[in-house]
Each structure stands twice: as structure tokens, then as C-alpha cells.
Chain A
């Protein structure tokens, strides 16, 4: 159980759902351990949040447990989408914990947001990668099948074709050095996805595809808190077990920051 997520699911406002998918990882595997690590490294946090003067255990957060992947990723995403949609229909905001970034596709399909906001080192605008249309590198492209716009915060790498795609009117890329000054200008509901590799590798080395010149944790914290009140869904993804807990503890803290800020709305 995610620490503090002790509410009865039937009456919860938020629900943590683990999605330990680790199928298309292209460099350092281990995203399957993300949900376990994130739950574990959240154990040391205080219940009280001084920014919003709330206690996490007062915010009606439940833990669904993990939805275990099968070999068929497409079918798994269908199952996961349905699970998340059920929670949303019953009034619980899903807090999805990956797993590789591909799980976000299920979240976006379930929540049907107007705007997809993503903290990510990578553009993830490919149509397929290594012949796989459900690769972790295609997430923003899939999100734009559902959402009208994508805002990618902290992106600093992509293929030539991705940067061309990013130049279209429905994509906004905010480079790392501009994220601290970014203010949300969002029309409608947002879905917020946090790929932990948005952080500089010095802060979150436990991730599949590290990319230097990244965001510092405080900037990520402020961005999450700024978007949270407009969000209908949240995920944090791409945490693996290849560090001493830095990536997982940052992911867990950002999840909690999202809940505090959303509840404070």
C-alpha cells in the first residue's frame, strides 16, 4: 500500500494504481519495479503538508494495488484503461504509477482530457520506435489522438521528425531553462504525466533513459502543483531500481504534491 493511502476505495477521492509494465524499455530495464519502489520510498514522508496545511491521510486516498501486465501490451492497456475509467466514473481521481511511460496511454484514454501536460526529457512524439507503435517513445503522439493539445515541459531531446512535429500548433515545448517561469494556460481538463527522466540524472538516476541538462526537483514540484488543480488524472512513470532510491523518492513526493495541490484546488 502507498503510505497514507488507507481510505476505503468505495469512498475515496483518489486512487493509486500500480502499472509495472516493462516491455519496450530501450536502455536500462527495471521499470517493473517502479510501483514497489515508489511505495517503499514514500514511507518516510510526513503526513502534513505545510504548503496547503493538509494531512495526506485526510484526503481520502486509496490504493488499488498493481495491475499486472501480460505479454500482450495492447490488451494490457485496454484492461488498464478500463480499470482507470471505472475509478474515474465512481469519482476517484487515478494516480497511476509506472512502469514504463506507455502506461500513460491507458490513463489518457480513460480520462479523455483536453490537454496533455507532460514533464519529460524526451518529446515522445514518434509514431513508432524500433518497429513498436506502443513503445515508451510514442506516448505524446498517442496522447494527441485523445487530447487537443500537448504541453511538454523540460523536453531536451528528440529525433528530427519529432522536433518537426513539435513545431505544430497543437504541441508546446517548454525547454528546461524556461519551466520555472512557465505558467499553465490550459483550456479545459488536463492530464498530468510525470516521466521521472524529466529530472536531471543527478537527481533521478534510477530511470530507463537518462538525459543530461534536466530539471531540478523544486522546479518539477512547482510545475506539478501548478497543473494539479486543473487535472483529471495523474501519473508518474519510468522509475526503475537502478539507484539508491533517488528517482523513486522524487516520484513519490511529486505524487503527494499533486494530491495536496489538487485537493487544495
Chain B
């Protein structure tokens, strides 16, 4: 599984973190101090990169968390069927089907960027 271990304190808005074994993008990072002799606590609110679900975690800033290594890749649209596009990776020439994001209008031969983590992919 492509991921690395970091401390909670290293997280920031816009970066990725694993919550409930799901890669998430952080949209809010805040801290509170439990007391003079405890370590500060951080609260992370995030959204699943691939499923869009909201998740949160609240842990001491020196706790260890997993950060997913999500690849950003280049692809080309081969064909469009309804809400799905068949895309060919421009490096490996692998083809796969991905859901077209709402509001996007894709046509064959369009070059796109997509995120990939294990077997999950998402057009950005």
C-alpha cells in the first residue's frame, strides 16, 4: 500500500491523510491544548478523495498517522459513454473507465489529469 507515516502535526489543509483506511483530503486542521502538561490535540476534517464522504479525526499532535501517496497522472480520453469516460494512461497506455466529474464536459482525445491510489482513480 503506497503510504508513509507522519505525525499529526505535519498535516495541513490540502494535504492527504488516511482516515478509516480511506485516503482523504484535509479541508480543516485545528488544534486545542488539553492542559499545561498534556500535548496539544489536533482535529482534522477531511473528505474522501474518491468517495467524497466527510470524515474527521482528533488526536494528539505527536500521534502517528498514515499519509497516502496519491499519484497525479496524465491520461487521454478514448471514448465517452454517459457519465463515464474510457481513459488511456499516457505513460503506460493502460486503459480504464472513470466517472466524469459533475459539470465537466469531456470529449475523445481530451487530455486529462487524474488521481490514482491503488485501484481507485478520479479525474481532477
**Contact surface of A with B, Cβ cutoff 8 Å:** 65-70, 75-76, 78-80, 82-83, 86
Contacts and interface: CB of A to CB of B under 8 A. Distances in A.
A26 B40 CA distance: 27
B9 interface: no
Nearest to B32: A79
B8 to A, nearest CB: 13
B31 A82 contact: no
B31 A70 contact: yes
> 8 closest Cβ contacts across the A-B interface?
A68-B33, A79-B30, A78-B30, A79-B32, A75-B30, A79-B43, A82-B43, A67-B32
A252 B41 CA distance: 27
Interface string B25-47: 00010111111000011010100
Given A66-B35, A78-B43, A83-B43, 16 more contacts: A65-B34, A67-B34, A68-B34, A68-B35, A69-B32, A69-B33, A70-B32, A75-B31, A76-B32, A78-B28, A79-B31, A82-B28, A82-B30, A82-B45, A82-B56, A83-B58
Contacts, number: 39
Contacts of B45: 82
Contacts of B56: 82, 86
Interface string B1-28: 0000000000000000000000000001
A120 B61 CA distance: 37
Contacts of A78: 28, 30, 43
